[in-house]
A and B are shown apart, each in its own frame.
Chain A
Amino acid sequence: MEGFEATARAEGSTAVVDMAGLLDRSASAALDAAFSEALGLSAGPVVFNFGDVGYINSTGIAIVVGALARARAEGRDVRAYGLTEHYREIFSITRLSDFMGIYDDETTAVAG
């Protein structure tokens, strides 16, 4: 899909941010809003669901880095799932995955 949408929901002791669309500059506001909401939904970890994200560019990486920095400042754990092989590689090259647990699916991500 064109554009980007992000919504937050509570899942057990975590909050999941479901994203869909293109994670680039245009995603910034929507992602920030959903992430803020997620931080308020639970006191536990925040889980990014990349399952419906078909494109992430360097600006999208910067947005994720910004969110991650915010979570760490509040002492909150951040996890992710639903990344394609290619974006797993990019998360690894950028070392995002050193600071964010990468999981295969929601169940394992929520369980941690």
Chain B
Amino acid sequence: MGWFRKRSKDAAPVEEVPAVPVRDGVEIPPHDPLHAYLVQAGGPVDLEKLDLESAALDALRESGSVLVVPLISQGELLGTLSLGPRLSDQPYSADDRRLLSGLASQVAPAVKVANLVKQQESQVKERERIEQELRVAALIQQTLLPKELPSPPGWQIDAYYRPARAVGGDFYDFISLSDGRLGFVVGDVTDKGVPAALVMATTRSHLRAAALRSSDPGEVLADANSVLVDEIPPGMFVTCLYGVLDVESGDVRFANAGHNLPYVKGESGVKELRATGMPLGLMPGMEYDVVTARLLTGEIMLLSSDGIVEAHGPDGEMFGFDAVQATFDSAPDTDVIGHLLEGFDRYVGADAEQEDDVTLVTLRRAAGAEEAAAVFASVPTAVLADFSVPSEQGNEREVMNRVAVSVEEFGFGEARLERLKTAVSEAAMNAIEHGNGGDPDLDVGVRVEARGDRLVVRITDWGGDAEIPDAEEPDIEAKLAGEQRPRGWGLFLIERMVDEMRTSTDDGRHTVELVMNREET
């Protein structure tokens, strides 16, 4: 937790010694002097002879008891045998007392056993009740966490939630907003179990409603706070970070209600984004500052709950912010969460019971296909060459050389330029010899276009709909054995020289399109 430390209320209770019930609703509390007297009495006690300032003694006398025999087992007073006056009005004899002592020494262990059985039964019931409550809490939690993660183009969004056995009040949420914006929430309710889960559910719906009303993350938290202050049980509160991501620009605007600060990892390492504010549900009229940041391509934002930061290692030391930051820094971009969990598990030890819920959310701006396509669409096309040659034998080399000159500025390396030249020469030769049948009156059109990193060469002939048949795959062994004619390497070479080859026909014209990226892909 960033600014407020929560403490669960389930600290171990001080074990209380119960009052000992003795007769007709009379009890001997452990602090009553009679209690101590009976523990060390060692046999039947005449109440008339006692001189103690004891409320229990007075109550016993009032109820008509004259003799009590303590039931002691292992130094513990379990009860008494309380007797009124003898019917004969004679005092209890030494024999009576021996008999009663013997009886008490046999009854005491039986009472002890009966007490233990009763105690165990109620413990089992209590455990069952707690387990049931945990199941309900976990169910509420899991029902309300997102079933699917958003996947806006160009973004990789991951989330992870691992409940502690006692189920803390962690939650995260994503809210689709207008204009392609995405709201995101990571929060943590004080306390555990069903009460925390119910507060989490309430908070989640207030945040959702507020997020749809306002585009300002500070207003969203202020709205949610003003409602929660009246609804939340006393002593409970919610830490929460709410932000809005513009998936196109990478802009993030967020506000913080006492939650862990987010981290952003970029080229210069991991940095913390500062934003402060009071947790939700504590005080009315809170205001929250809005912090803005921009996630660049390749940058990752990490949001977390304190379950990971405050986890203790075997030596009792906390994992801590520095370790989270360093682990994030060394994580592979595509699996930040997996890497953090590995580091966390290694730190706390394999057998350690998880102390608190662990929640992690990452927003990674990846250069996705759609983003790249959008960038590509905005890149203008440059025409590097547009010419035609007559269909004469040998002109394929003229085409090849003119295309080579036109792409000098494009910046191919030597190997790729040579490949392009071979492909262009082969395609031009096909156009001259097959498409135009070697008729010098028919021209071969050539157009070279550059768009970003892609170069496209279009070679057009008058072959019309007569598709060049797919050349049979040349087989050198068959050719050497005379089973296949030596020729037939043209299309085979073109396909292997360029990144893409497409053919099309239109109005009697046949076009081969050769695509080559600047760098090998």
Residues of A within 8 A of B (CB): 22, 24-26, 55, 57-59, 61-63, 65-66, 68-69, 72, 84-86, 89-90, 93-96, 98-99
Contact = CB atoms under 8 A, between A and B. Distances in A.
Contacts, number: 65
B415 interface: yes
Majority secondary structure of chain A interface residues (helix, strand, loop or mixed): helix
15 contacts: A24-B397, A25-B393, A55-B397, A57-B422, A57-B426, A57-B429, A59-B487, A61-B493, A62-B485, A62-B487, A65-B480, A72-B480, A94-B474, A94-B492, A95-B476
Nearest to A72: B480
Majority secondary structure of chain B interface residues (helix, strand, loop or mixed): helix
Given A25-B393, A99-B476, A65 B422 contact: no
B486 A90 contact: no
Contact of A65 (B426, B429, B479, B496): B479
A97 to B, nearest CB: 10
Contacts of A63: 486
Given A86-B419, A90-B493, A96 B426 contact: no
Contacts of A66: 486
B490 interface: yes
Interface residues of B, number: 26
Contact of A86 (B396, B422, B426, B479): B422
B490 A58 contact: yes
Nearest to A85: B415
A58 to B, nearest CB: 4
Contact of B486 (A26, A69, A86, A89): A69
B493 A93 contact: yes
B487 A58 contact: yes
Interface of B: 393-394, 396-397, 415, 418-419, 422, 425-426, 429, 474, 476, 479-482, 485-490, 492-493, 496
B426 A69 contact: no
A22 B397 contact: yes
A94 B486 contact: no
Contact of B476 (A26, A57, A84, A96): A96
A24 B482 CA distance: 21
Nearest to B485: A62
A25 to B, nearest CB: 7
Contact of A69 (B425, B474, B482, B496): B482
Contacts of B396: 57
A99 B489 contact: no
A61 to B, nearest CB: 5
Nearest to B475: A95
Contacts of B488: 58, 62
